[in-house]
Each structure stands twice: as structure tokens, then as C-alpha cells.
Amino acid sequence: MPNHTIADILRGLEAKTFSSEEITQQYLNAINKHDINYNSFITVTAEQALAQARAADTARQNGSAAPLCGVPIAHKDIFCTEGVRTSCASKMLDNFIAPYNATVVERLATAGVVTLGKTNLDEFAMGSSNETSYYGPVRNPWNTDCVPGGSSGGSAAAIAAGLAPAATGTDTGGSIRQPAALCGLTGLKPTYGRVSRYGMIAFASSLDQGGPMAKTAEDNALLLQAMAGFDHRDSTSMDLAVPDFRAGLNKDLSGLKIGVPKEYFSEGLDPEIASAIEASLNEYRKMGAEIKSISLPHTHLAVPCYYIIAPAEASANLSRFDGVRYGYRCENPKDLDDLYCRSRAEGFGEEVKRRILIGTYALSSGFYDAYYRKAQQIRRLIKQDFDEAFKSVDIIAGPTTPNPAFALGEKVSDPLTMYLEDIYTIAVNLAGLPAISLPAGFTKGKPIGLQLIGRDFDETTLLAAAHQYQQRSDWHQQAAPGSV
């Protein structure tokens, strides 16, 4: 079972090579034995997983198998799971047993998946290294002295280590694509509004989007199919038809116009990553694509713009954690104000508090126009850059990150350099566009990610472009040294 994809597992289940119970038990054994090296899971739901697997086996015997019937996966611990702790990697929610399921969890359950457990992340998804988790950092299976990226670092490490074939993630500024890149995986941030955010703990509501993480583009298509679609419980969900993503994987790409932004190959990009991306663009040329140089002139403003908008929205969203209705409450509050101020001071970690304070500043009287309004205006300029580019190209390609996985602890004391690791991913969230990261090589034994950015709601072209590259390359089939 090691290194299995969802597609492999489905074939094995259909051919009765193994049962869902057997493969689920194998993954649970692997987690039990090896996750001590990675810390990729916060909660393992072994009993429930085995019960779900047995039910899936029965459904398959009865001829009533849903599309992903019996496939074990993991959920990022930001998605509410009824009856199971949903911690968001925060002390604030260490005791929070979700009273309902996120739509993504519900939809995947309807599609037949088995849930192995809940994966680690940066606290409230605020980070790019998975070092801000209350449950400790996650280690990268390719090099356990390095970070797996973040914030969906637990999902990424679990898949790369062979402890789950796939997992859910969320992406506010790169939190699916960056860990996918750093761990040698394929991860898709869908278009804003494609996947319901109901029951996904909110960080920055105008940017957050849930999506799949797996080894291949094909598996991403299978998962997205189950996750996507309109949900009346999420007011930002878009009421649009969901295409057949798997059927679209082999769509004809000859004549595809790929734009390469010159700003994505400037100072700060690791030269070996630059060469790997050039080499992958050459493959696309051979596949009949046309490569064009383009410009996204406001690229340098994406990080500044994001570090106002995301904290501002976070400061509003996280005001719900007040020690009254659920979550952490401080001991012996002397009055209501003390209850609020101390519960929040004790329940949130340092990075989360810092971002709440920045957001509070940006929204406070006298500074709103200079910061929040200004950032929203810059955001439109960034979106217009993409609109302009998509008049002449079908997709945009470049590196996912400027550097490969960095050492644990290396950037903790300097958040600004950490923020710059997201320079190529952040603009995509500001513009609401879909984007995928896929493996495109290695540098010094660490994976390199190629990012493809698409037009609004055109995940199909991204998945097809990634899938067809994966038919001609084997970067995505490489296994991390310690993986099982």
C-alpha cells in the first residue's frame, strides 16, 4: 500500500485485492508506528475509521459504492468534524468537540471516504512553516530537519510520509500550494467560491478556500469533484455547475498559451528552482503549448497588501473566541472583561496575537483609510494585472516558492523573511483565482513546486495541464526517504 494514490486504492478495492478495512488498518498502523517522526496528526480517529471502512466494504458488496467508497484520507484540523476535537492547532480550541460537520467533511463522507484523523497545521492557519502549532512543529519527510511548509503542513507531511494517500487543506495565502511544493505533492487551491467554507474555521474570509492535497493531479480531480459545489450555508459559495474534472484531465492542450510573469523570476529566487521551472516549461513546449513572457506589475505589492487584509479579517473573525460559549476559558476570571482579555491572552499563541493586533490597528479609527482601504485598492490593481494577462494567455506558470524547505527554527525569529516565502502564492488569493502546485524537480534532495494559475473557475485546465505533465514526468512518483 505504500505510495498508493487514490486511483490505485480505488482499483484495488474494485478488484477486491484488498478491502477498505484492510487498507485503513494499514494506514492506521503506519501512523501509529511512524508519525512520531513527523507529528503530522493531532488526532487519529482509529475506531471511527475502521467502522467507516467496514460500512464502505458492505456498501461495495451491495453494489452501492459512492465514487470514493472506502478510500482513507485525512482532514486538516481546521474542518469541523462532529463529535471529534477540532483544534485548529490552538490551545484556544484544544477542548473543542465540533457539534457539526463542515460541508467539505460531509460531502467527502457522502462520497464514501474514510477519515483517518485530523492533521496538524499552523495555529489558526497563520504561518508558512507549521511551527506555530500548539501541538508542536511538523517535520518534512524529505528532510526531518526542515519544515514541511504551512499552514497545511500536517496534511502535506502525512501524505509525503505515506501515512495517508490524500488530505484536505485550506489556502489563504498559499497554505495548500506551499506545503505541497515543499513536500513533493500536488495541491490545488480552487477558485474562491468553488468549495464551501461552512464549518471551516475562518481566518481571512475574503481569501480562505479549501482544497485537495494528494500525490497526483488525478487524485486532486477526484477529491475536488466530491468537495466542490454550491452550498446555501456559505454566503460566498458560487452557484455554478461543477464540471467533470476527471473527464477533463485529458482535454486537448495543444495551442495552450502559458504566460510566464517576469516578476516571478527576479531577485530572491533560488537558481536551481529557476532552472527546474524552465525545464518544465520546455516540457510544455514539447506538448504543444506556447510559452509567452508576461508582466504582473503589482506583484511586489501582494505581500504588503495581504499583511493588512488577512490580519484585518482575522482580527474580526477571531473575536468570536471569547471564553464564553466554547473553547478555552481562563481560571478564576475576576470580571467579564478579565475573562475576555485573559482567555484570549492565554488561549492564543504569539503569531496569532500579533496578527490580531495588526488587524486591529489597520481597522482602527484614523488608520482605516491609510491601511485597510488602501490595501483593498491595491488588491484591485493586483486582480487587474491578472485580468489583463488572461486576455492573452490561458494559464500562468512559475515557481510556487522562491526557496525549497528551510530548516526548522530558521525563520521563526524573523517573520518578515517567512512572509516573503509566500510571494508567488499570495497574489492568487487576493485575486480569488484557482492555482495548483505540482512537483517539478529537486534541489539538494528537496522537492521543487511548479505553480500553474488559471482563470476564475477554470480548475479543469489546471488539472489537465498538471495531469498531462505527470504523464511525462516522474517527480510526483518519488518517495520521501523515510516514507512507508
Partner 1 sequence: MSLDQNDIAKLARLARINVAETDTAELSQRIGDILNMVDAMQAVDTANVVPMANPHDATQRLRADEVNEINQREHFQKIAPQTADGLYLVPQVIE
Which are the catalytic amino acids? 76, 151, 175
Indicate which single residue of 319, 392, 471, 477 sits in contact with partner 1 (rule: CB under 8 A).
319
Which residues does 123 contact at the CB level (< 8 Å), separation at least 6? 88, 89, 90, 132, 133, 134, 348, 349, 351, 352
According to DSSP, the residues that pair with 170 across neighbouring strands are: 210
Q: How many residues bind partner 1 (CB under 8 A)?
A: 69
Instruction: Using alpha carbons only, give the angle 430, 450, 230 rounded to the nearest 5 degrees.
Output: 45
Grid cell, residue 222, equals: 477526484
Pattern 378-417, binding to partner 1, x per CB under 8 A?
Answer: xxxx-x-------------------------------xx-
Select the residue interacting with partner 1 from 77, 208, 456, 459 (CB under 8 A): 456
Taking the complex as a whole, the smallest distance from the CB of residue 176 to partner 1 amounts, in Å, to 17
How far apart (Å, rounded) are the C-alpha atoms in residues 399 and 253? 21
Stretch of 46-54, 196-204, 260-268, 427-435 lying at the interface with partner 1 (CB under 8 A): 427-435
Single residue of 50, 51, 274, 303 touching partner 1 by CB under 8 A: 303
Q: Does 268 bind partner 1 (CB under 8 A)?
A: no
Which are the contacts of 7, defined by CB distance < 8 A and separation ≥ 6? Answer: 216, 218, 219, 222
Write out the three cell numbers for 294.
508576461
Q: Is 320 in the site for partner 1 (CB under 8 A)?
A: no
Q: How far is the CB of 344 from partner 1 (least distance, A)?
A: 5
DSSP string, 62-115: TT---TTTT-EEEEETTB-BTTBB--TT-GGGTT-B-SS--HHHHHHHHTT-EE
Looking up cell 528551510, which residue turns up?
406
Which residue among 27, 192, 284, 424 contacts partner 1 (CB under 8 A)? 192
Nearer to partner 1, 248 or 415 (CB): 415
**Coil, strand, or helix at residue 445?**
coil
Site mask, partner 1, residues 364-383, x = CB under 8 A? x-----xx-xxxxxxxxx-x
Interface with partner 1, residue 348, by CB under 8 A = yes
Q: What CA–CA distance (Å, rounded) separates 475 from 469?
A: 10
Question: Which among 7-15, 44-52, 118-126, 321-329 is the span making contact with partner 1, rule CB under 8 A?
Answer: 321-329
Order of all β-strands in the sheet with 446-454: 41-44, 114-119, 72-76, 166-171, 209-214, 186-189, 435-443, 446-454, 395-399, 257-261, 290-294
Q: Which stretch binds partner 1 (CB under 8 A): 2-10, 69-77, 394-402, 430-438?
A: 430-438
Nearest distance in Å: CB 102, partner 1: 16
Q: Is 339 in the site for partner 1 (CB under 8 A)?
A: yes
Q: Rank residues 17 and 364 by Cβ distance to partner 1 and give the closer one.
A: 364
On the CB side of 146, how many CA atoms lie within 13 Å of its CA? 19
Q: What share of the chain is helix, strand, coil (3-state, %, to 5)?
A: 40, 15, 40
Applying CB under 8 A, does 54 fall inside the site for partner 1? no
Q: Residue 460 phi/psi, 5° resolution? A: -55, -45
Minimal distance, residue 56 CB to partner 1, in Å: 27
Question: Where do contacts with partner 1 occur on this chain (CB under 8 A)?
Answer: 95-97, 99, 192-193, 206, 232, 235-236, 238, 298, 300-301, 303-305, 307-308, 315, 319, 322-327, 329, 333-342, 344-345, 348, 353-354, 356-358, 360-361, 364, 370-371, 373-381, 383, 415-416, 419, 430-433, 456
